[in-house]
Chain A
Amino acid sequence: MATPKPRVKLPKTASAGEVVTIKTLISHTMESGQRKDSDGKVIPRQIINKFSCEFNGAPVFSCDIEPAISANPYFEFSAKVKESGTFKFTWVDDDGSVYEDEQTIEVK
């Protein structure tokens, strides 16, 4: 599997108190642990098990992810922005890897 690559989309600017839509997508095979290979051996589970989003250090959204979630998980949620700052996104893999992305937003 190629290294998972996160993608995040949110507006660059917003007015104070505006509710913005945040979209995130990450490439990941989300191997459920319930499939077998051609030799009949179980393919070990490897999924992203947690996703979270913080704004200036404060939690905005987070969730645990279970094996039934399809490959390349996509999350869309909204957040009210009162001030300029940075959204930080974190995906946690079963193997302990953490994939991160950041995006700033300017409040005008």
Chain B
Amino acid sequence: MRHSLAIVGLGMMVAALQMPLTAQADPVDDALVIDDIEMVTRTKAPEGHPLDEVRSGWLYREAETRELEADSFQNPGMLYVEQGADIWNRVEGPEGKSCASCHNDAAETMKGVGANYPKWDADAKRPINIELQVDKCRVENMGLEAYKFDAAEQKALTTYIKNQSLGEPVKLDLSQGELQSWWDQGKELYYTRTGQLNFACASCHEANSGQYIRADHLSQGQANGFPVYRLKQADMVSLHNRFRGCIRDTRAETPKAFSDELMALEVYVTWRGTGLSVETPSVRQ
């Protein structure tokens, strides 16, 4: 009798080891509506995508955090949108111009723009994102200096510009210039293990999305809501800041913001969220 019990016990132990060691938690089944615009938070993945369905990080957050994003009044990110609107309309620099001097009303001229970046910059022969596009305008047309990375104004203005595309589906045109080869490089980086912890982006955001890494519910790591209002920082966090944070957490050397590596990664990661709505400013943990 004692003998057979031991065997049963052993059998249970083997069964337990075959189960995943991390707690499984699926993303919620919930609809995100912001100012009467229904957001696409789940959609069929584009051709060539490793996953069947792409999902917004919103689905992986706690109910309170989701609620905060769904109410555009409560969303603290909207404070930065308002700040961005002031910057948009403010005359600055020796040319006496504001963003609005050339681009008029952002609600019309910037609608959809944020959904299609990064684009190919034929002059610089590299991809360009919203932050770099703003810098280009500042230097070439306004006679100003480029913003320092993550300057408060840079984050506010980027948030404002991307917010004009709220609800628009993310779509990149990879046929522009050499964007496809940058996409390839980005993909390479996405799957390359790095740092003392030896993690690739895919280790968490593809192989283990939906599971917990300690207390953190891993999402697919989509870029559609950036810049995001992160409760941890109580501030806007740019995509390149988050890239650097993630890479630092693997205990690797972090590439500089807007470096070739991170621009390639931005092209690829943004593409992975094809079809998701722009949610800027999204709210995350």
Chain A residues packing against B (C-beta within 8 Å) = 2, 5, 7, 9, 23, 25, 27, 29-30, 70-72, 74
Closest to A24 in B: B73
**B83, A74: Cβ atoms closer than 8 Å:** no
Closest to B152 in A: A2
Give the docked Cα–Cα distance between A58 and B31 (Å): 41
**B234, A7: Cβ atoms closer than 8 Å:** no
Chain B residue numbers with a CB within 8 Å of A25 are 73-74, 76, 79
- B249 an interface residue at 8 Å Cβ cutoff? no
Closest to B73 in A: A9
- B188 an interface residue at 8 Å Cβ cutoff? no
Closest to B80 in A: A27
Within 8 A of A (CB), among B64-122: 73-74, 76, 78-80, 82-83
**B79, A74: Cβ atoms closer than 8 Å:** no
Chain A residue numbers with a CB within 8 Å of B235 are 71
* Chain A nearest CB, measured from B261 CB (Å): 26
Chain B residue numbers with a CB within 8 Å of A2 are 83, 152
Closest to B234 in A: A71
Add 4 more A-B contacts to A23-B73, A25-B73, A27-B79 (CB < 8 A): A5-B79, A5-B82, A71-B76, A74-B76
Give the docked Cα–Cα distance between A44 and B272 (Å): 43
Give the docked Cα–Cα distance between A70 and B230 (Å): 12
Residue from B79, B80, B231 whose CB has the most chain A CB atoms within 10 Å:
B79
* Chain A nearest CB, measured from B284 CB (Å): 15
Closest to A1 in B: B152
Closest to B233 in A: A71
* Chain B nearest CB, measured from A1 CB (Å): 9
Give the docked Cα–Cα distance between A9 and B76 (Å): 14
Chain B residue numbers with a CB within 8 Å of A70 are 231, 234
Chain A residue numbers with a CB within 8 Å of B79 are 5, 7, 25, 27, 72
Can you list 5 pairs linking A and B with CB atoms under 8 Å apart? A2-B152, A5-B83, A25-B74, A29-B234, A72-B79
* Chain A nearest CB, measured from B128 CB (Å): 27
**A7, B73: Cβ atoms closer than 8 Å:** yes
* Chain A nearest CB, measured from B147 CB (Å): 15
What are the 5 closest A-B residue pairs judged by CB atoms, nearest first? A71-B234, A27-B79, A72-B76, A9-B73, A70-B234
Chain B residue numbers with a CB within 8 Å of A7 are 73, 78-79, 82
Closest to B68 in A: A74
Closest to A27 in B: B79
> 1/0 per position for B33-77, CB-CB distance to A under 8 A?
000000000000000000000000000000000000000011010
Give the docked Cα–Cα distance between A70 and B231 (Å): 9
> 1/0 per position for B12-34, CB-CB distance to A under 8 A?
00000000000000000000000
Chain A residue numbers with a CB within 8 Å of B231 are 70
* Chain A nearest CB, measured from B76 CB (Å): 4
Chain B residue numbers with a CB within 8 Å of A29 are 234
**B74, A74: Cβ atoms closer than 8 Å:** yes
Chain A residue numbers with a CB within 8 Å of B83 are 2, 5, 27
**A72, B234: Cβ atoms closer than 8 Å:** yes
